[in-house]
Amino acid sequence: MEILARLNPKCQNWGVGGGFDPLTPLMISAACAGADSLGLMILQWKVGQKIPSAGYDKLLGRIKDISERHKWGISTRLSYLMEVCLDDYAQPLKCKSCHGTGKNELHKDCGKCGGSGNRNRSNASRAKQMGVHRSTYMRVWARRYRIVMNYFMDTLPELEYRAEWHIKNHLKSA
Ligand SMILES: [Zn+2]
């Protein structure tokens, strides 16, 4: 599998390193074998490995299906939209008020982010990432962004969870 060759020891950032013998690339490849490619891609995106993969193509295929259903027309920017949504999903920015902890100084939920510890990127930065003018983004892409993001929130957490479980389980039994 091509995707396995692309994984590197950054996998340790996924929280599977503690309490085990040091991981080797071979062990990680073995652990990742059989995990859903889409779930793996999300885990990779979370650790900053934004690279072409089977999972990337699979997700883009789903975005194209959504595009057809909503009659968005053919656009080469669909992959950009997907990457903007992936960033917002997998690499949220830290809330400036609580610095990502989700708690205020009284150890209650942060009032600014509601306890999530995250803050949203601005529409302007999303437009910039997509290479479109802000007005175009607001007129055309903002609605599409919400549709894709809703799809992500509905479907990605479970895929991600399953991929992580698969990897941890395999490492435990190895
Ligand atoms: Zn906060």
pLDDT at 6 over 50: no
CA of 104 to the centre of ligand 1 (A): 7
CA of 64 to the centre of ligand 1 (A): 34
* Residues 119-153: tens digit of each pLDDT: 989 999 999 999 999 999 999 999 999 999 999 99
CA of 143 to the centre of ligand 1 (A): 26
Q: Which of the pair, 150 or 47, is modelled with greater confidence?
A: 150
pLDDT at 103 over 90: yes
CA of 93 to the centre of ligand 1 (A): 11
- Write out the residues surrounding ion ligand 1, Cβ under 5 A: 95, 97-98, 110, 112-113
Confidence of residue 3 (pLDDT cuts 50, 70, 90): very low
Element (H, E) at 102: none
Give Cα separations from 125 to 93, 96, 133, 153 (angstroms).
12, 17, 10, 21
Which of 34-38, 71-75, 121-125 has the highest average model confidence (pLDDT)? 121-125
Confidence of residue 174 (pLDDT cuts 50, 70, 90): low
Surface-to-core class of residue 59, CB atoms within 10 Å of its CB (0-12 exposed, 13-18 middle, 19+ buried): buried
Using CA atoms, how far apart are residues 40 and 55, in angstroms rounded to an integer?
7
Mean pLDDT of the chain: 84
* Per-residue confidence (pLDDT) for residue 149, from 0 to 100: 96
CA of 109 to the centre of ligand 1 (A): 8
Confidence of residue 99 (pLDDT cuts 50, 70, 90): very high
* Per-residue confidence (pLDDT) for residue 170, from 0 to 100: 79
pTM for the full model?
0.74
CA of 150 to the centre of ligand 1 (A): 22
Domain range list for the chain: 2-172
